[in-house]
Amino acid sequence: MNITAATTTHTMLATTLERTIQGVRMFYDTDRAMAENLMRPLIVLGKPGIGKTVAIRELAQKKLKIGYKELRLASMSELDLAGLPMVKEGEDGVHETTYAASKLLPRASRDGEYGILVLDEVSSCSRAARAVALQLLDSSRGVGEYKLPDKWICVGLGNDADDGGIFEGLEGAFLNRCRILRLEPDYASWEIWADNHGINPSVMAFLKHYPEMFYVDPVEGDSRIGASPRSWEGVSTQLTFAEMLSGGRVDASNTALFVESIAADLTPNIAAMFAAFYAYNAEMIDPEEVLAGKAQLEGKDTGAKEWIYLTIESCIALLIKRSKGVNFTKIPDDLQAQIANFILFTGQLQAAKGAEAAAAALEQLVRRVRVVAGLVGEKCAFKKNFPDAFKQLVYTSNKLMGIKR
């Protein structure tokens, strides 16, 4: 039986946690009751490999720059959390048993005044370990001699009974102390993350062509997940490394060998699909030629989307990389020219009966290459220098915003 929970996305989860930390900063010293209500522990449930832990870790460490501690409960005993028992003399002279504070748990003096403690694998750990974790989630926020720092929040991560991972249970007492959210595999949120982490363009192109492959549940008789955000990151790493070693594109003509190189991250059938798709790299247009305005479609089969997606994603990846840190109001002339050439290339695609791919390419440009928003500003010379590209850019931007012109 699944646990009832509101559904969320990675972006919404990050926003929820960010606002919680903001609330603690605003109210902890002036309205303790408000702050403590905001700090009510959160349980996030979801399928394995969708990036629950990574999303929170990067929010804490890279965006909020606050303390972060992560405990994987499935590999821990109750003593790892509670600390070892020790005997000390009480106030009335009677010896008492208590627990020494575990070094694994956060301390404000060492880890920061504000922070997030993640209790990972709460649904797959032993019941004894979960019982100790429960003490960190209740109003006492402590175990033995240890107390969670005042301005830290606690988040539990796990999977539900039907999510395909190990599920040992979640007791009612555990759930009643927490807010509960269900995180679903969400390509739109992952795409933003992928653009910021240099995921290989061939992986992005494949997922554009086969969106149903973004997350694939395990097949009967195989406990491995068919594909997940975690596995696509692994494929990207392996593929990028192989391309570096080969000085360019990897020869995917030997499908068996190629599949073997990525089989650790994907089940064989999906690995074979990706290998067959990647083989189209031999037909794609060099993205540097596209951005330089030298691309030619003569002799190309514009009905075959595979090489088109590979070309488009490679161009988008280069534009994202080259626009990082660029001020929207001071976009370099050479970058403006490259964006204009990409837009004009989509016009070539449209003229060659590739209208669907052309429209998709322009939408990707507007959504993912953020400096593009600065090209429609009044102070930008893009309209004057590249009038045809400007018209197409404005049309696509208005279309995405639902503006009819």
Which phi and psi angles does 45 have, rounded to 5°? Answer: -105, 145
Please state the separation of Cα 372 from the chain's center in Å: 23
Cα–Cα distance, 156 to 42 (Å, whole number): 6
Q: How confident is the model at residue 161 (pLDDT cuts 50, 70, 90)?
A: low
Cα–Cα distance, 364 to 282 (Å, whole number): 23
Domain 6-184 - what CATH class? alpha beta
Q: Which residues pair with 96 in a beta bridge?
A: 88
The conformation of residue 150, written as its DSSP 8-state character, comes to: T
130-144, 200-214, 305-319, 321-335, range with the lowest pLDDT: 130-144
Residues 12-49: pLDDT tens digits? 888 889 999 999 999 888 998 898 888 888 888 888 88
Burial class for 211, CB neighbours closer than 10 Å (0-12, 13-18, 19+): exposed
Please state the separation of Cα 2 from the chain's center in Å: 24
C-alpha angle 40-42-45 in degrees, rounded to nearest 5: 165
- Joined together, the tokens standing for residue 99 give 């627990």
The conformation of residue 65, written as its DSSP 8-state character, comes to: -
Is residue 308 a contact partner of residue 354, using CB atoms and an 8 Å limit?
yes
> What mean pLDDT value characterizes the chain?
84
Cα–Cα distance, 281 to 251 (Å, whole number): 9
Separation in Å, CA 304 to CA 211, 308, 310, 362: 17, 7, 11, 18
- Joined together, the tokens standing for residue 367 give 């959504």
- Joined together, the tokens standing for residue 62 give 């890279």
What pLDDT sits at residue 99?
67
Q: Please choose, from the candidates 55, 54, 22, the residue with its C-alpha nearest in 3D space to the C-alpha of residue 39.
A: 22
In this prediction the pTM is: 0.80
Q: Which uninterrupted H or E stretch holds 292?
A: none
76 vs 306, residue with greater confidence: 306
Cα–Cα distance, 300 to 311 (Å, whole number): 12
Phi-psi label, residue 340: left if phi above 0, alpha if psi -120 to 50, beta otherwise:
alpha
User: Beta strand pairing status for 142-143 and 146-147?
Assistant: antiparallel
Q: Which residues pair with 151 in a beta bridge?
A: 114
Average pLDDT of the segment spanning 156-172: 71
Is residue 161 a contact partner of residue 167, using CB atoms and an 8 Å limit?
yes
**Domain-wise residue ranges, the chain:** 6-184, 189-400
On the question of pLDDT at 272 being above 50, the answer is: yes
On the question of pLDDT at 81 being above 90, the answer is: no
Cα torsion for 292, 290, 294, 378, to the nearest 10°?
-50
Q: Over the range 287-321, which residues count as b (16 or more CB within 10 Å of their CB) and which as e?
A: beebbeeebeeeebebeebbbbbbbbbbbbbbbbe
Q: Please choose, from the candidates 135, 172, 177, the residue with its C-alpha nearest in 3D space to the C-alpha of residue 42.
A: 177
Average pLDDT of the segment spanning 116-131: 85
Average pLDDT of the segment spanning 357-386: 88
Cα–Cα distance, 60 to 313 (Å, whole number): 30
User: Beta strand pairing status for 6-8 and 42-46?
Assistant: unpaired
Per-residue DSSP letters for 41-55?
-EEEEE-TTSSHHHH
Q: How confident is the model at residue 1 (pLDDT cuts 50, 70, 90)?
A: very low
Is residue 121 a contact partner of residue 74, using CB atoms and an 8 Å limit?
yes
On the question of pLDDT at 401 being above 80, the answer is: no
* The amino acid at 140: S
Please state the separation of Cα 366 from the chain's center in Å: 20
